[in-house]
């Protein structure tokens, strides 16, 4: 790839109880961006983490001027953190990942290859390396979403993805829960954007445990799923410009 064809990339990740992995993820983001990007930045959103994630993020930002940190004054949820990150990312392509180092940012090489073919490139896990309970919840969730929104995606809300900033500006995202990944994918597809899927492997946490399938997050995700379904399949959604319904 010649320098001129390299894209400008924002890498964004939320942190919440990620004090033990935030430096690693940042280091990996810097090395992959140095290789793949023309210009780049790293955006970290601290969702009022009770551990040292926020302080470490600030230390990193003090060391590198391409790192930007945003602190939520209170815990607002994974989806809210993603929206903050997306709204504060400035470059043409935004790569989303998680602060817990479960994804390998080297996979950005695979995703970026398709930047001319797609507007949003999501990922699916070849193998879900989780507990049986978590695999079951994930299978039901994906099946339910395929049925409710008539989509075909294998794995609609994996955290690693690459999205064009322009697309995000055209979506009105309304969820604050982990449903956000699905909301982005579904709304993009329905508006006619090109959504691609790339297979990846994940590397389960060695510290702590994931919270996306906690009782509270499942409850909030289901609530948002129904809210977005109602919003989309209504006579008010995505009306032509200057057209209104009473
Ligand atoms: N904003 C926000 N982010 C969270 C919260 N819980 C987890 N995260 C972030 O989301 C990422 C993935 O969360 P995790 O619990 O590992 O989800 P899982 O990998 O789907 O089980 C973590 O790296 C955290 O940075 C939360 O309550 N609020
Ligand atoms: Mg995780």
Mean pLDDT across the stretch 187-195? Answer: 97
At 207, the pLDDT band (50, 70, 90 cuts) reads confident
Please tell me the least confidently modeled range out of 48-52, 63-67, 213-217: 213-217
> What is the domain partition of the chain in residue ranges?
3-232
Mean pLDDT across the stretch 115-122? Answer: 98
The reported pLDDT for the residue numbered 208 is 79
Ligand 1 pocket test, candidate residues 212, 214, 217, most atoms within 8 A of CB: 212
pLDDT above 70 covers a percentage of the chain that reads 98
Under a CB-based contact definition with an 8 Å cutoff, are residues 217 and 26 in contact? Answer: no
Which CATH superfamily includes the segment(s) 3-232?
Spore Coat Polysaccharide Biosynthesis Protein SpsA; Chain A (3.90.550.10)
d(CA 156, CA 149): 11
- Token pair, residue 57, equals 């993020």
CA of 214 to the centre of ligand 1 (A): 11
pTM: 0.95
Pocket of ligand 1 (CB under 6 A): 14-16, 18, 47, 75, 77-78, 81, 98-100, 102, 210-212
CA distances from residue 163 to 5, 126, 183, 238 in whole angstroms, order as listed: 17, 21, 13, 21
Q: Indicate if the pLDDT at residue 4 is higher than 70.
A: no
């Amino acid at each position: 790839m010649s320098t001129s064809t390299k894209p400008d990339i924002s890498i964004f990740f939320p942190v919440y109880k990620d004090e033990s992995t935030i430096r690693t993820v940042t280091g990996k983001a810097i090395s992959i961006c140095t290789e793949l990007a023309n210009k780049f930045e790293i955006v970290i959103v601290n969702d009022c983490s009770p551990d040292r994630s926020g302080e470490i993020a600030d230390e990193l930002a003090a060391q590198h001027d391409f790192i930007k940190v945003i602190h939520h004054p209170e815990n607002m949820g994974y989806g809210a953190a993603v929206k903050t990150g997306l709204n504060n990312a400035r470059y043409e392509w935004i790569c989303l990942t998680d602060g817990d180092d479960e994804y390998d940012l080297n996979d950005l090489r695979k995703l970026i290859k398709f930047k001319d073919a797609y507007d949003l490139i999501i990922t699916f896990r070849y193998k879900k390396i989780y507990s049986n309970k978590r695999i079951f919840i994930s299978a039901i969730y994906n099946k339910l979403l395929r049925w409710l929104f008539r989509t075909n995606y294998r794995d609609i809300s994996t955290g690693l993805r690459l999205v064009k900033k322009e697309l995000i500006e055209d979506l009105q995202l309304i969820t604050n829960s982990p449903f956000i990944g699905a909301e982005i994918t579904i709304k993009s597809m329905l508006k006619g954007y090109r959504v691609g899927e790339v297979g990846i492997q994940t590397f389960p946490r060695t510290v702590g445990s994931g919270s996306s399938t906690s009782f509270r997050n499942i409850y909030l995700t289901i609530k948002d799923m129904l809210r977005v379904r109602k919003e989309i399949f209504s006579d008010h959604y995505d009306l032509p410009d200057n057209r209104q319904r009473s």
